[in-house]
Amino acid sequence: MNAVASEPAIEVEHLVAGYGGRRILDDVSMQVHTGEIMIIMGGSGSGKSTLLRHLLGLNRPISGVIRLLGKDTGRLSADERLALQKNIGVSFQGGALLSSLTVGENVALPLREHTRLAAATIEVMARVKLEVVNLGGFEHMMPSQLSGGMIKRAALARALAMDPKLLFFDEPSAGLDPVVSSELDDLILKLRDALGMTIVVVTHELESAFKIADRITVLDHGKVLISGAVDDVRNADSERIQDLLHRRSRPVHLSADDYMRRLTGE
Amino acid sequence: MRQIAHSIGRAATGLVEEFGYYLALTVESLYWLCWGAVRGQPVRLAATVAQMRETGVAAAPIVFMLSFAIGVMLAIQGIHTLRQFGAETQVVLGIALSVTREFGPLITGILVAGRSGSALAARIGSMQVNQEIDALCVMGISPVRYLAAPAVLALLVMVPALTLFADLTALFGGAVFCSLELGMSHVAYWDEAISFITVDDIMQGLVKSVLFGLIVALVGISNGFSVSGGAEGVGRATTRAVVLSICYLVLADMLFTYFLNR
């Protein structure tokens, strides 16, 4: 990708995050370049979901700076934040479609709230977005009537409603069968190539990660193990990264004394 | 000893935090109701009307039933008490004042807490669990404007309206029983009731009912927003919302009645 040379769409500098005295993210720094697909990978509990929540501005960091599209998210006025949010689309793990609205109304919601377009125009635009994700004709269904894959695609259509520059995906392939999951991967690639979006995908699915990634960031225990191009990650000599890539179970190093102590609860 | 002090301290800070949350929620809802349209992000009329129908109009039949029964009950008790003085006909005074000043608003408040407070907590709570609230936030749609403000406005309008309705039906219940028991005509009953009730009595009930509406809305919404831990959490929040709002309602009633009657 030629995007590597251009300015970063996302910059995270020395991000420390956590709650209740527990540190979930410890000095995380990373960059996402404009027009690339960045995969954030890591095992369960590695802090990848927490990192995503901070990138989206849903949680406040303890310290550190997050810049989206060049704007420091820590010091934005309400209006600036709104302007930024219109440039960000998010597809949540469970879809997070509003269950009281139809699929079409869900996709139309950002347009209805943030633009002064006529209702008929909004309806057409919502249908167009649904066509993009191959859900044309489903706009009158309720979210509860859709299958898992359809919900993810509808959530993607809603994320695309405002034509965002930045697109975030939380576990796009979780709970989907391989075919549907691969279709979703193709869709993500199409979005980057056709619309030049910067896309951040949080996942633990290796296969899909390597298929769509331009660069990969691997998180482990709240720290960045590596953040680089796909081949660099594949050839990294860190044992932990290789464990993650080859699905090796983690060796448990625990002395007999420690084990005894843990069992007795002392 | 230290443990007791510790838990008392924690309960106290929890209480302060909770009331701070209610205050912030009130201020933010009022902000969106007043300035949302100016900022180009109005509180939707359709959502407010839907809430009004759900919390107000749909509650009318059960408010009718309960307050009718309360009116009959007050008449029975009043006649029983006053018979000892041979002053049964004075029962209208007792019914008229206790209904408008106390029972109308209280019964309505408790009923709305049970119906709408729980519904609010459950709806917002399950949206929180499904990340729908997060989705609203990242779309730049304030959940307070989109979800809370219409409910607050609806309850502020509908609880006083239901209270007036409850006042009337409770008086009607009293009229029905008095005509059966004392042979009092409906016309005489209503004449007497209207001559006893002052604007002040009605206003006292209405002022309290506005407060009750606010309490139900705030407790329901804030418990919904603070849900964590899946379906079980939603259930817990719903129960908590109903129990807490009824407690606050009765306490606020006592305090308000005390100060309004000084």
Give B132 to chain A, closest Cα distance, Å: 5
- Give per-residue pLDDT as tens, A136-195: 889 899 999 998 888 998 999 999 999 999 999 998 887 788 888 888 889 889 889 988
Please indicate, yes or no, if residue A227 is contained in any of the structural domains.
Answer: yes
- Give per-residue pLDDT as tens, B19-43: 999 999 999 999 999 988 888 888 8
Please indicate, yes or no, if residue A154 is contained in any of the structural domains.
Answer: no
* ipTM over the 0.95 cut-off: no
Which pLDDT band holds residue A234 (cuts at 50, 70, 90)? Answer: confident
Locate the chain A residue with the closest alpha carbon to B139.
A85
Q: Determine the structural domain holding residue A227 and report its residue range.
A: 2-87+164-264
Give B4 to chain A, closest Cα distance, Å: 22
Q: B137 with B143: CB under 8 angstroms?
A: yes
Does A2 have pLDDT greater than 60?
Answer: no
- The 3-state secondary structure of chain A reads CHHHHCCEEEEEEEEEEEECCEEEEEEEEEEEECCCEEEEECCCCCCHHHHHHHHCCCCCCCEEEEEECCEEHHHCCHHHHHHHHCCEEEEECCECCCCCCCHHHHHHHHHHHHCCCCHHHHHHHHHHHHHHCCCCCCCCCCHHHCCHHHHHHHHHHHHHCCCCCEEEEECCCCCCCHHHHHHHHHHHHHHHHHHCCEEEEEECCHHHHHHHCCEEEEEECCEEEEEEEHHHHHCCCCHHHHHHHCCCCCCCCCCHHHHHHHHHCC
Give B131 to chain A, closest Cα distance, Å: 5
Please indicate, yes or no, if residue A57 is contained in any of the structural domains.
Answer: yes
CATH value at residue A75? 3.40.50.300
Task: Count how many domains chain A has.
Answer: 1
- Give per-residue pLDDT as tens, B129-162: 999 999 999 999 999 999 999 999 999 999 999 9
Please indicate, yes or no, if residue A138 is contained in any of the structural domains.
Answer: no
In chain A, residues with a C-beta closer than 8 Å to the C-beta of B135 are 90, 92, 96-98, 158
When mean pLDDT is compared over A55-59, A112-116, A244-248, B248-252, the highest value belongs to: B248-252
Question: For an interface test with A, which of B124, B138, B141, B147 has the most A Cβ atoms less than 10 Å from its Cβ?
Answer: B138
Question: For an interface test with B, which of A113, A152, A169, A171 has the most B Cβ atoms less than 10 Å from its Cβ?
Answer: A113
- Which of B76 and A242 is assigned the larger pLDDT? B76
Please indicate, yes or no, if residue A169 is contained in any of the structural domains.
Answer: yes
Which pLDDT band holds residue A252 (cuts at 50, 70, 90)? Answer: low
- Give per-residue pLDDT as tens, B231-253: 899 999 999 999 999 999 999 99
- Give per-residue pLDDT as tens, B67-94: 999 999 999 999 999 999 988 888 999 9
Which pLDDT band holds residue A52 (cuts at 50, 70, 90)? Answer: very high
User: Can you give the pLDDT at residue B120?
Assistant: 95
